[in-house]
Structure 1
Amino acid sequence: MKLVKWMGLALLVSFSALVQSAPAGNANAAADQVARLDSIVRLSEAQEKEIEALLVESEQATTKLSREIQSMKIELGQEIGPDFNERAIRKQSAKLGKLSGELTAETALLQAKIQNVLTEDQRAILLKRARQVQQ
């Protein structure tokens, strides 16, 4: 069981680095991310299509959440001053925490769904790559 958790964590780290290295806001960002993953694990055409669909779907959700988080940070910043309202700051902070948690969950779910598309050999390649990156 510990090996499975370690593999999941390593794949999470590896894939997070892969996804974060893609240009944000690019219309072809999903295709770019799939191409990077393909260069590492050699995806089949069916895998490419499925992963690209997952990325596009997730990007819609994460973009919305990211915008809400940014807006919430601005609102929170407006509460900071000499005449601060502690209750308002705590309320805004709680909302911000909830949105951040939702964004984290969305990202983790995307990575889990992508792992589900990969073969055991492909996951092993990513694990090896994650170990190399950590060293």
Structure 2
Amino acid sequence: MKIWKRICMAVVLSMPMAGQAASIASDQVARLDSIVNLNKGQAEEIESLLVESEGKTEQLSRKIQALKIQLGQEIGPEFDEKSIRHHSKQLGELSGELTAETALLQARIQTVLTEDQRAILLKRAQQMQPQAGSPKHSQ
């Protein structure tokens, strides 16, 4: 029982403080604005999308972490295969949901941007990726 109290305390301590999600969203919007020059309406809408998504992804992340801990506790010489498979399936579903939420956020942000802004972001992303044809260094 003590371990669950510790886990609960860790979860509570890892939660963002009130307003922290909005602050993070503001920083992200400022970075995006510096790249594509957002208008005020775009900035406000994107910040709102980020704050909403942060709440969902934070909740999913906490559930994923709790399941990982639970799975770790089930590993031992007297394991329960059915339980491990059940919790692993849940973990996979939550991970898929987290991935979907992240992709949906990116898609929603894309709808707020103009065609020119999307082109700027695409060009920037391509510049940040290593070139496909460049030779790899051997060690």
Structures share fold, TM-score greater than 0.5? yes
Structure 1 position 93, deviation (Å): 0.2
- Following superposition of structure 1 onto structure 2, how do residues 63-82 of structure 1 map, counting pairs within 5 Å? 63-82=58-77
Q: Secondary structure at the match of 1:43?
A: coil
Q: Which residue number corresponds to residue 33 of structure 1?
A: 28
Q: Which residue number corresponds to residue 128 of structure 1?
A: 123
Q: CA separation in 1, counterparts of 2:16 and 2:128?
A: 26
* 1:46 equivalenced with 2:41 (yes/no): yes
Structure 1 position 123, deviation (Å): 0.3
Equivalent position amino acid for 1:81 in 2: G
Q: Which residue number corresponds to residue 88 of structure 2?
A: 93
Structure 1 position 84, deviation (Å): 1.1
Percent of residue pairs bearing the same amino acid type: 68
Residue ranges of structure 2 left out of the alignment (5+ in a row) = 1-14, 131-139
* 1:58 equivalenced with 2:58 (yes/no): no
Q: Secondary structure at the match of 2:111?
A: helix
Equivalent position amino acid for 1:132 in 2: Q
Q: CA separation in 2, counterparts of 1:87 and 1:81?
A: 14
Displacement over 6 Å in runs of 4+: none
Using CA pairs under 8 Å that are at least 6 residues apart, name the structure with larger relative contact order, 1 or 2. 1
Residue ranges of structure 1 left out of the alignment (5+ in a row) = 1-23
User: How far does the alpha carbon of each residue in 1:48-75 deviate from its partner, in whole angstroms, 9 at most, with x for none?
Assistant: 0000000000011011100000001011
